[in-house]
Amino acid sequence: MMRIAFIGLGAMGGGMAANQAKAGHEVAAFDLSEAAVARAVEAGCRAAGSAAEAVADADVVITMLPAGPHVRSVYADTIIGKAPKTALLIDCSTIDVESARAVAEQARGAGYRVADAPVSGGIMAADAGTLAFMVGCEDAVFAEVEAALKPMARVVIHAGSAGAGQAAKICNNMLLGISMLGTCEAFALAEKLGLAADRFFEVASQSSGNCWSVSNYCPVPGVGPQTPADRGYEGGFATAMMLKDLKLAQDAAAKAGGTTPLGAQAEALYALFDTQGYGRKDFSAVLQMLRGRLSELS
């Protein structure tokens, strides 16, 4: 059993903390939302009155926060110097690479072992404990990070040194956002050409057009494995979160001198979808915008 401090119990963090408790660990949970803390307690966690209280005797500190400024602030104000120096610090938030490296440098300078470990998989995977983690940390720390993440994970991949987890996450999600748009365009065109969605799925999933967005996360209801499309595009990876990741990718590309025209176009299309009021819908719901059938999302 490990003593785990879990800070950030939102749509993803709540399920992640619950899986740590299910694994038999003692989880001290904290969030600014009292309702989120209450749900964590129902899932077997212990409520902490503050982030500093949560980390006070932790073996592992896991954070799942909205953005880089939140991570920088929480680490500087309530983790570094408050958690035992023996604690392993793991940030699972999706943030900019610069912030991840700055936090890692600050933590290591204070004598901590630290890793950035953003996730892929969405809310369902967070609840099921089947997330994919992309880890940025020193080689000597990875085995310990992998063990700490295991109750929440399907796979844990060492991407490289500090910040590499974040780099891998934003590049992967840029690719996902682009491929989903291509998938949606293809299904929308197939419909216009009189081709049944299930027939096109059978062709695309077994030929050169196949990709994860086709075979595992088809945006058309009733086609292929069950996806958020079969639940009114609820309970998956929110469009607003995809847009956040695409913005991070574009910011990183600008700073690194990278050329990402398809990533930029994907960001623009998801931003358009989001501004029409569908930010909480699964990102695959962009299909309905391309089909001209947004009224079906109401």
For the chain, the distance separating the N- and C-terminal CA atoms, rounded to the nearest angstrom, is 46
How many other CB atoms sit within 10 Å of the CB of residue 292?
8
Catalytic residue among 169, 192, 244, 247: 169
Which of 236, 280, 270, 279 shows the shortest CA–CA distance to 250? 270
- Conformational region of residue 129, where left means phi above 0, alpha means psi within -120 to 50, and beta covers everything else: left
Burial class (CB in 10 A: 0-12, 13-18, 19+), 117: buried
Q: Given 3-state DSSP classes, what are the helix, strand and coil percentages for the chain, each rounded to the nearest 5?
A: 55, 15, 30
- Whether 22 sits among the annotated catalytic residues: the reply is no
Buried b or exposed e, range 136-167, using 16+ CB within 10 angstroms = bbbeebbeebbebbebbbeebebbeebbbbbb
> What gap in Å lies between CA 257 and CA 28, rounded to an integer?
42
Residue 212 DSSP symbol:
H
Which of 127, 116, 115 shows the shortest CA–CA distance to 154? 127
The kind and range of the H/E element at 87 are none
The partner residues of 49 in beta bridges, in order of sequence, read none
Task: Give me the active site residues, please.
Answer: 169
